[in-house]
Amino acid sequence: MTLPDDMQALVLLQAGYASALAGVAPPALTGLVALQRVPVPRPGPGQVLVRVALSPINPSDLLYIAGTYGQPRARGTPAGFEGTGVVVAAGDPRAAALNARRVSFLASASGAWADYALADAASCVAVDDELRDEDAAALLVNPLTAITMIDIAARLGVNAVVLTAAGSQLGRMMIPLARERDIAPIAIVRKPDAIGSLQELGAAEVLASSAPGFAGQLASVLRARKPRVLFDAVGDQLAADIFLAMPSHSRWISYGILSARGPCLPDMRSFVFQGKGIEGFWLSRWFGAADPVTRARATQEAQRRFLDGTWRTQIAARVPLGDTPRGLPPVLDLPGKVLLAP
């Protein structure tokens, strides 16, 4: 097909890193991103060009825009880490196997918040015809993180795990995954209104940190369940307090930075004498290090769960790309995914 010379994209206005943490949502997108016309990129060796259908806004996207993510911003390039669309061009014969295929992709070469996005062919997954675009758009970042982390817990042989921000889309994916592995998920949420739905998903315990008596409830649950893995999306003082109260040889696995203020660890004896440890999980690093068979198994499992109805992407809003960034701030606080539609 004949490609246009330029396209609409939500591009970054800043370069590099910010000087301070911003939390999950920038106070305003003005000055950080802008809707512009930019050249349509052309794929190089091992790359494909995707005509984007939908792209979600993930917490990692907002951190990246704010300059507090794990990689520096590139001024003038489109934002957006993942999406779905149809491959319209390939950079070499091997990548051409994806031509005309609908794919879920990680925008490893240019951002997904655009009419067209460049992606490495290795970071694209051809999706089933029956998979909804809404689920295909969010097939990789959250689902692969959930699958991989519960795999970690299973390999460690633990009987229970603690999940912070358990009411998020990712938390709701991990709960049934843990249950299927006979691992009891202990869900920590901020407000009590999420308790019922997480119990229905299979959470063994659901504790609201804002509820009276939370500290006593937490202590009782930790004594009874003895969880040895904390999957933490927040990175705040509450996460640290939970971890310090967990049993010996526990692991704190941090995969998100929802809090703009990091924790204080006032007592290091847990690490010296109890064998506790803290580590990070970054899907981009896992995706690059995992062998193709492992990646394929995880992506196939994610698709299967969406197709059989075990998982379903909760949609907060669909925002036409042309309405951004003006149309974004009001919907970013809604529960569910905000999807950008070129």
Fold of the 142-284 domain: Rossmann fold (3.40.50)
Identify the sign of the CA torsion 320, 321, 322, 325.
Answer: positive
Residues 292 and 85: their CA atoms lie apart, in Å, by 22
Judge if the upstream peptide bond of residue 325 is cis by omega within 30 degrees of 0.
yes
Q: Would you say residue 306 has pLDDT above 60?
A: yes
CB atoms < 10 A from the CB of 268, how many? 9
Q: Where in the chain is the domain with CATH 3.90.180.10?
A: 6-138+313-341
Question: By C-alpha distance, which of 306, 311, 248, 308 is closest to 125?
Answer: 306
Angle at 258 between CA 53 and CA 280, to 5 degrees: 95
Average of per-residue pLDDT values in the chain? 92
The winner for highest mean pLDDT among 26-30, 88-92, 310-314 is 88-92
Render pLDDT for 147-186 as a digit per residue (tens, 0 to 9). Answer: 999 999 999 999 999 999 999 999 999 999 999 999 999 9
* 256: Cα separation from own chain's centroid: 8
Question: By C-alpha distance, which of 84, 65, 83, 85 is closest to 75?
Answer: 65
Q: Where in the chain is the domain with CATH 3.40.50.720?
A: 142-284
Question: By C-alpha distance, which of 95, 72, 184, 113 is closest to 327?
Answer: 113
- Helix or strand holding residue 287 (H, E): helix 283-289
List, as one string, the DSSP characters of 95-151.
Answer: GGGGTT-EEEEE-SSS-SSBSEEEEEGGGEEE--TTS-HHHHHTSSHHHHHHHHHHH
In this prediction the pTM is 0.91
Please give the pLDDT value at position 101: 97
Residues 213 and 270: their CA atoms lie apart, in Å, by 25
Name the class of domain 6-138+313-341. Answer: alpha beta
Please give the pLDDT value at position 22: 56
| Range of weakest confidence among 185-189, 255-259, 280-284, 292-296 | 255-259
| Range of weakest confidence among 7-21, 109-123, 222-236, 243-257 | 7-21
Please give the pLDDT value at position 24: 54
| Percent of the chain clearing pLDDT 90 (strictly above) | 80
Q: With bands split at pLDDT 50, 70 and 90, how would you rate the model's confidence at 25?
A: low
Render pLDDT for 58-100 as a digit per residue (tens, 0 to 9). Answer: 989 988 998 988 889 999 999 999 999 999 999 999 999 999 9
Q: Is 199 exposed, middle or buried (0-12, 13-18, 19+ CB in 10 A)?
A: middle
Distance (Å) of CA 50 to CA 75, 77, 126, 299, 341: 21, 16, 12, 19, 14
Gyration radius from the chain CA atoms:
20
Tokens encoding 112: 């997904």
Please give the pLDDT value at position 331: 78
